[in-house]
Amino acid sequence: MSQITTNKRAAAWSHIATNECFTVNDIAMAIAEPTEKGREIVKEFEKRGVIQQVAGIGVAGRPKVYARIEGQEPVLGRGHCGDGRVVRSQNRKTKQQKMWNAMKMHKHFTRQDLQMTAEVTDSHAKSYLSALHKSGYVSFLLKVKAGQKSKGKLSRYCLLRNTGKLAPLVRKTGVWDQNQQVFYPFESTGGNES
């Protein structure tokens, strides 16, 4: 639900709360939108059980008249969808979450292991491992410097800090641990690894 839509609903509810009765046109005028948008909001509030029709039949000259149901208020803003149900977070696994799960499973791993297990690109694996290394989550078991002599060889990593189920989130200056609710800033490291 967009911020503008939420504000329109809030403006509509403000009008409803301060007036004994209202019509769809009253709501449309209160939110400065076309009649159709006013009708949409009125239907939503009626469906949620916070308003009810008290008069009129919905034809020209006899519009439906609505009134607020005492003691009822709608939930406005995020976390609510139009049919009265609370929105639950999706359990869609992000690339970082898939790599984190793979690291916990393998204990010792390479970028290629993460690519195959988590189905991510080499650049995703490389950047995530770099961030976790700079924040102390993983260390090198075998560090291979990038260059001609190391062609075909990959660095091997070890998971040092398994803090729980949720993957650490990479931020601009460090990593946010969702499990511990702690921010780990990046430490400076040198060299390019493969």
**pLDDT(134) > 90:** yes
Strand ranges, E, within 38-173: 51-55, 65-68, 108-109, 138-142, 156-159, 169-170
Handedness of CA 139, 143, 146, 152 (dihedral sign): negative
Q: What would the DSSP string read from start to end of 155-182? A: -EEEE-----SSPPEE-SSEEEETTTTE
Separation CA 110–CA 113 (nearest Å): 5
Beta-carbon contacts of residue 152 (< 8 Å; ≥ 6 apart): none
Strand ranges, E, within 62-177: 65-68, 108-109, 138-142, 156-159, 169-170, 174-177
pLDDT recorded at residue 190: 54
Output 88 or 176, whichever has higher pLDDT.
Answer: 176
pLDDT recorded at residue 73: 81
Q: Is 48 left (phi over 0), alpha (psi -120 to 50) or beta?
A: alpha
Helix axes 111-118, 122-134, angle to 10 degrees: 120
Region 146-173 average pLDDT:
86
40-97 residue pLDDT tens: 999 999 988 889 999 988 888 889 999 998 888 877 765 555 544 444 555 668 899 9
2-54 residue pLDDT tens: 555 568 888 888 899 898 899 999 999 999 999 999 999 999 999 888 899 99
Residue count of the chain:
194
pLDDT recorded at residue 161: 92
φ/ψ of residue 11, rounded to 5: -65, -40
Q: Under a CB-based contact definition with an 8 Å cutoff, are residues 155 and 113 in contact? A: no
- What is the distance in angstroms between the CA of the first residue and the CA of the last residue of the chain? 44
Average pLDDT, the chain: 84
